[in-house]
């Protein structure tokens, strides 16, 4: 029985590690042949010109700056490197819906001949397979996915036989999923900041597991539950790590030493004051006896001594 429990625990631990290592919602140009036909692309909102997604194969940087919403009008400018000539025609296709006005495809580069088969209003459209590089802009509307998030094949490059050479694939999301992604990215940035600042490893590992669980729930369709899980994360009271504690330890020691020194000085001064107070009180008692005797001889001197005695009593709080 114990062996079964141990095996199950190891299985759960490995599963959590695998989930944690999964990237979230990758946006990329999928290369079926590994030859790198589409070298870069940028997707913008049609109305606001806001940059949504950007990729450059030269730098390897792939950025999702804002989610693509269903029904959103967008345009995608991409560069195709036809690194070798061949027989037959290549073709371009898209799963974006067509705008009410304008063309599907607009050739930006003027030194590449697409041939007579190219139709800017057709989807898909063929073009002559010539060696060279050209830049194209595609206009369209993001379709509504059947689930909370679904891949959208913005651009697909086909070979002469219909084989997919490469695709630009992004994730179209609902409004709820877009909100989840925004919160997720913020929590992920918080986690990276905590790790770099030396927060306790156990805490950051737990936070990574929660993020992975939220991602899994969102992918499975429970976007509301995943968002609630992220909102439950509070990083404001994260425990300090061992490195931070080691840095703070000398400061704590110094403060403690200073506190001990001040306590010692205070007690020493307080002891001296107490001793002086006892001496003054004894002198006051002696002065009372002396005043009583002098009053029988000289009342004026007795009155002066009484005044001194009263001042001494006030001084020591008697």
Which residue, among 153, 92, 95, has the nearest Cα to 125 in the 3D structure? 92
CA distance 259 to 255: 6
Between residues 232 and 45, which one has the greater pLDDT? Answer: 45
Confidence of residue 265 (pLDDT cuts 50, 70, 90): low
Confidence of residue 299 (pLDDT cuts 50, 70, 90): low
The DSSP letter of residue 56 is E
Sheet holding 149-158, edge to edge: 28-31, 164-173, 149-158, 89-93, 125-128
CA distance 21 to 268: 62
Residue 120 pLDDT greater than 50, yes or no: yes
Q: How far is CA 228 from CA 76, 167, 303, in A?
A: 34, 34, 85
Task: Return the pLDDT at 283.
Answer: 63
Residue 249 pLDDT greater than 80, yes or no: no
Task: Return the pLDDT at 89.
Answer: 92
Confidence of residue 270 (pLDDT cuts 50, 70, 90): low
Residue 17 pLDDT greater than 60, yes or no: no
Which residue, among 148, 183, 221, 178, has the nearest Cα to 68 in the 3D structure? 178
Fold of 21-173: Immunoglobulin-like (2.60.40)
What is the residue extent of each domain of the chain?
21-173, 177-231, 245-316
Query: With contact defined as beta carbons under 8 Å apart, do 157 and 167 qualify?
Result: yes
Please tell me whether residue 111 adopts helix, strand or coil conformation. coil
DSSP element (H, E) containing 171? strand 164-173
Confidence of residue 79 (pLDDT cuts 50, 70, 90): very high
pLDDT tens for each residue of 36-78:
899 999 999 999 999 999 988 877 777 888 878 888 899 999 9
Which positions ≥6 away from 87 have C-beta within 8 Å? 129, 160
Structure tokens that stand for 118 in this block: 């190219």
């Amino acid at each position: 029985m114990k062996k079964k429990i141990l095996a199950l625990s190891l299985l759960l631990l490995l599963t959590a590690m695998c989930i944690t290592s999964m990237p979230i919602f990758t946006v990329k140009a999928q290369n079926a042949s590994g030859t790198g036909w589409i070298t870069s692309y940028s997707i913008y909102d049609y109305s606001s010109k806001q940059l949504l997604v950007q990729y450059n194969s030269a730098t390897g940087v792939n950025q999702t700056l804002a989610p693509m919403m269903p029904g959103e009008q967008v345009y995608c400018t991409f560069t195709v490197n036809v690194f070798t000539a061949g027989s037959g025609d290549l073709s371009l296709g898209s799963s974006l819906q067509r705008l009410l006005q304008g063309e599907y495809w607009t050739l930006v580069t003027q030194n590449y001949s697409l041939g007579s088969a190219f139709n800017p209003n057709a989807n898909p459209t063929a073009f002559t397979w010539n060696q060279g590089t050209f830049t194209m802009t595609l206009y369209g509307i993001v379709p509504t996915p059947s689930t909370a998030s679904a891949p959208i094949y913005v651009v697909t490059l086909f070979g002469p036989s219909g084989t997919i050479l490469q695709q630009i694939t992004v994730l179209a999301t609902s409004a709820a999923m877009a909100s989840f992604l925004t919160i997720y990215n913020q929590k992920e940035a918080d986690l990276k900041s905590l790790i770099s600042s030396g927060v306790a490893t156990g805490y950051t590992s737990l936070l990574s597991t929660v993020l992975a669980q939220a991602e899994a729930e969102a992918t499975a369709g429970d976007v509301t539950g995943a968002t609630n899980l992220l909102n439950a994360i509070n990083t404001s009271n994260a425990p300090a790590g061992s490195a931070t504690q080691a840095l703070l330890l000398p400061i704590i020691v110094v403060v403690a030493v200073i506190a001990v020194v001040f306590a010692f000085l205070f007690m020493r001064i307080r002891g001296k004051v107490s001793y002086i107070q006892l001496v003054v009180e004894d002198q006051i008692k002696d002065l009372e006896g002396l005043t009583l005797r002098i009053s029988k001889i000289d009342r004026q001197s007795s009155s002066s001594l009484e005044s001194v005695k009263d001042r001494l009593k006030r001084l020591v709080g008697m």
